[in-house]
Amino acid sequence: MGHQLIKMKLQKIKIASVIIGVLVPICLVYISTNQFNNQAPKCSIKTITVDELLKSFIRNETIATQQYLNKVIQVRGKISSIGLLKDNQVEIALKGTRYKSILCTLNPEQLFGIINSIEINSEVLIEGKCIGFLNDVYLKKCTVFKSVKQNC
Partner 1 sequence: MKNILFLLLIFCSINASSQSRYITKNGHIQFFSEAPLENIDANNHQVAGILDLTKNEVAISLLIKSFKFDKSLMEEHFNENYLESDKFPKASFSGSFQSKEVINPNKNGSYPVTVDGKLTLHGVTKAIQTTGILTVAKNQVIAKTKFQISIKDYNIKIPTLVIKNIAEIVDVTVELPFTLETK
Shortest distance (Å) from residue 95 CB to partner 1: 14
How many Cβ atoms from other residues are within 10 Å of residue 107's Cβ? 17
Q: Please check whether residue 54 is in contact with residue 137, taking contact to mean a CB–CB distance below 8 angstroms.
A: yes
**What is the rounded distance in angstroms from the CA atom of residue 77 to the CA atom of residue 148?**
9
- Select the residue interacting with partner 1 from 19, 43, 85, 120 (CB under 8 A): 85
The residue range among 11-19, 41-49, 78-86, 110-118 that interacts with partner 1, by the rule CB under 8 A, is 78-86
H or E element that contains 18: helix 2-38
69 binding partner 1? (CB under 8 A): yes
**What is the rounded distance in angstroms from the CA atom of residue 75 to the CA atom of residue 71?**
12
63 binding partner 1? (CB under 8 A): no
Contact residues: partner 1, CB under 8 A: 65, 69-70, 83, 85-87, 89, 91, 103, 105, 131-132, 134-136, 138, 140
